[in-house]
Amino acid sequence: MKITAIRTVVVNAIHRNWVFVKVETDQPGLYGWGEATLEWKTRAVIGAVEDLEQFVLGQDPRRIEHIFARMTKFSFWPLGSIGLTAVSAIDQALWDIKAKDLGVPVWQLLGGQVRDRVRVYTHLRRARIGAQVGTNDIGAFCAAVEETIAMGYNAIKLGFVPYCAYEATVPDLLHVEKTAMAVRERVGPDVAIMTDFHGRPASPEVAKAFIDVIAPIRPLFVEEPIQPGHASAMAGLARRVDCPLATGERLFTLREFAELAELQAVAHIQPDLSHCGGLTGGKKIAAIAEAGQMGIAPHNPMGPVAGAVALHFDVATPNFLIQEEAVGLVPWFDEVFDHPMRLKDGCWEVPTGPGFGIEINEEAAARHPFAPEIVPALEAVLGDGTIASW
């Protein structure tokens, strides 16, 4: 079996363009899907996929580690977020092809089933574009949280922390504390609440100030309390707060995750399987996390291929904690995609079909072509005009 072509299919989802990668083979009807979505880097990622194609064409797609090495080692330069996103999508598609060729779900190739269902969490109103509610009106915010939980979830991730840089003002701290307590009171003790700081605090001291007022609601974890890439600073923060921390969506290499494990910097890591080397990279990162006694909660606010990939990974990963999902991001999600993400009692069911169980209606996808995204990060400006971290 040989790889004959690699194609990209772009679907605009308002805040991001989903980039799907289709790896085709010389076997009639046998191909694989991967996802290379990287916010606001669409054309760069497509170019990276095209650059990598020369290392992949003519290869046997079932030799996944071999092709992974061809893409990463022949590239010579460290690939970074754009290059590794392209690698990840191609890698995912190879797993899809191999599992389809064998007639088994991908999770069988990852070591087999270790759980009967995959717990998931969503965002406010399932992150539906145009349906978000800010925390200025705490009552309306809590009502939206309650509405979201009623959709069948028992876990939700929320943003409590404002743009703040090097200062946590008293009014901001009091408002965050009041909001967090109101949410916990509204949903009760049985709903898991996570909060994403998005690296907005520019120092561990600011992060600690906000964590301290949120900690009493017992969040499952606080995500990216500081900017990624400084494992020792994260470890120092973790030892000073009474709350589990998590990070990893903007980390890519085994070395970066190994540093977190060595320093026991966080309780849980969040690799994105569309950025960290696909399933080939993800499996190794999960083993590093297990050795470091850390849970794994894969990042995924993206499209359906990324969701299906994460689902199969979660089914077969022993130290899995919870999965981020974005099935409700756009109203036409199920019109364009046949996918295995089926919600029941706050969990996804274990898929049984061959491959990832994902199919894209390319004719329907063409109705949502590439367009410049709406970039919410542009709003990340402090009162004095300083650019903040989004």
CATH number at residue 168: 3.20.20.120
Residues 256 and 147 in one domain: yes
Q: 390: how many CB neighbours lie within 10 A of its CB?
A: 14
Which amino acid belongs to residue 5? A
Which residues in 26-178 belong to E strands, given as ranges? 31-35, 117-123, 155-158
Q: How far is CA 276 from CA 58, 261, 316, in A?
A: 25, 16, 18
Residues 55 and 178 in one domain: no
Mean pLDDT for 383-389 is 94
Residues 287 and 175 in one domain: yes
pLDDT of residue 374: 87
Q: pLDDT above 70 covers what percent of the chain?
A: 100
Residues 86 and 211 in one domain: no
In this structure, are residues 224 and 198 in contact, taking their beta carbons and an 8 Å threshold? yes
Mean pLDDT for 103-118 is 98
In this structure, are residues 18 and 332 in contact, taking their beta carbons and an 8 Å threshold? no
Q: Which range of residues forms the domain containing residue 176?
A: 108-351
Catalytic residue (one of 123, 299, 339, 368)? 299
Measured distance CA(11)–CA(149) in Å, rounded: 28
Measured distance CA(5)–CA(267) in Å, rounded: 41
Say how many residues make up the chain.
Answer: 390
Domain end residue (candidates: 53, 83, 105): 105
- Residue of 223, 213, 212, 97 whose CA lies nearest to 155: 223
In this structure, are residues 9 and 27 in contact, taking their beta carbons and an 8 Å threshold? no
| Residues 273-282: b if buried by 16+ CB within 10 A, e if exposed | bbbbbbbbbb
Residues 175 and 84 in one domain: no
Q: Check pLDDT > 90 for residue 206.
A: yes
Measured distance CA(380)–CA(130) in Å, rounded: 18
Q: Give the Cα-Cα-Cα angle 174, 175, 181 (nearest 5 degrees).
A: 90
Residues 21 and 48 in one domain: yes
pLDDT of residue 209: 98
Q: Tokens 């054309």: give the residue.
A: 43
Residues 6+ apart with CB under 8 A from 267: 221, 238, 244, 245, 246, 294, 295
Worst-scoring range by mean pLDDT, 103-112, 120-129, 142-151, 299-308? 120-129
- Residue of 20, 28, 23 whose CA lies nearest to 97: 23
In this structure, are residues 88 and 41 in contact, taking their beta carbons and an 8 Å threshold? no
pLDDT of residue 130: 81
Residues 246 and 338 in one domain: yes
Catalytic residue (one of 123, 198, 268, 275)? 198
3-state secondary structure of 135: coil
DSSP 8-state assignment for residue 191:
S
Measured distance CA(79)–CA(93) in Å, rounded: 19
pLDDT of residue 127: 83
pLDDT range class, residue 67, cuts 50, 70, 90: very high
Residues 57 and 144 in one domain: no
Q: Check pLDDT > 90 for residue 181.
A: yes
Is 230 noted as a catalytic residue in this protein? no
Give this prediction's pTM.
0.96
Structure tokens at 51: 């650059």
Q: State the DSSP string of 354-369.
A: SBT--EE-HHHHTTS-
Q: Tokens 């650059």: give the residue.
A: 51
Domain end residue (candidates: 105, 131, 164): 105
Q: Tokens 């929320």: give the residue.
A: 158
Residues 73 and 129 in one domain: no
Residues 132 and 45 in one domain: no
CATH code of the domain in which 81 resides = 3.30.390.10
Residues 63 and 93 in one domain: yes
Q: What is the CA radius of gyration of the chain?
A: 20
- 24 forms beta bridges with 5, 31
Mean pLDDT for 222-226 is 98
Q: Check pLDDT > 90 for residue 15.
A: no
In this structure, are residues 303 and 59 in contact, taking their beta carbons and an 8 Å threshold? no
Burial of residue 159 (CB within 10 Å: 0-12, 13-18, 19+) is middle
Q: How many domains does the chain have?
A: 2
Which residues in 13-61 belong to E strands, given as ranges? 17-25, 31-35
Is 198 noted as a catalytic residue in this protein? yes
3-state secondary structure of 331: coil
pLDDT range class, residue 270, cuts 50, 70, 90: very high
Which amino acid belongs to residue 34? G
